[in-house]
Homo-oligomer: A and B are copies of this chain.
Amino acid sequence: MPKPEKHVFVCSQTRPDGHPRGCCAQKGGSDLLQAFWKELQKRNLFDRISVTYSGCLGPCDGGPNVVVYPEGVMYSQVTKDDVAAIFDEHLLGGQPLERLQCPPAIWG
């Protein structure tokens, strides 16, 4: 694949049941990853945007988390219903969504 304009990393970290930090996989991260891939395929943007799963991105309490580079924008509590807007507004429109961004005190 060519170097993407935007590279989306979706946290898919797993942890055992009852782990104090929880994990994005249990908070919907796995379904979210599938939703990102599905949207990428639907829009046929493989040559401009990459979607990759990743290990823990840090702010577990707010998961599922997604980070978009090169900007380094971290989204928290992302749901499948947010995916189309992230494509429209940020990945294609160039304007990160304010409402989903991780607070600057945590990631800033």
Contact = CB atoms under 8 A, between A and B. Distances in A.
A87 interface: no
Contacts of A3: 72, 74, 107-108
A76 interface: no
Nearest to A10: B55
A13 to B, nearest CB: 9
A72 B108 contact: no
Contacts of A9: 9, 52, 54
A7 to B, nearest CB: 7
A103 B108 CA distance: 33
A106 to B, nearest CB: 8
A71 interface: yes
A50 B72 CA distance: 12
A52 B54 contact: yes
A57 interface: yes
10 smallest beta-carbon distances between A and B, as pairs: A69-B69, A1-B58, A53-B55, A70-B70, A54-B54, A3-B107, A52-B55, A52-B54, A3-B72, A3-B108
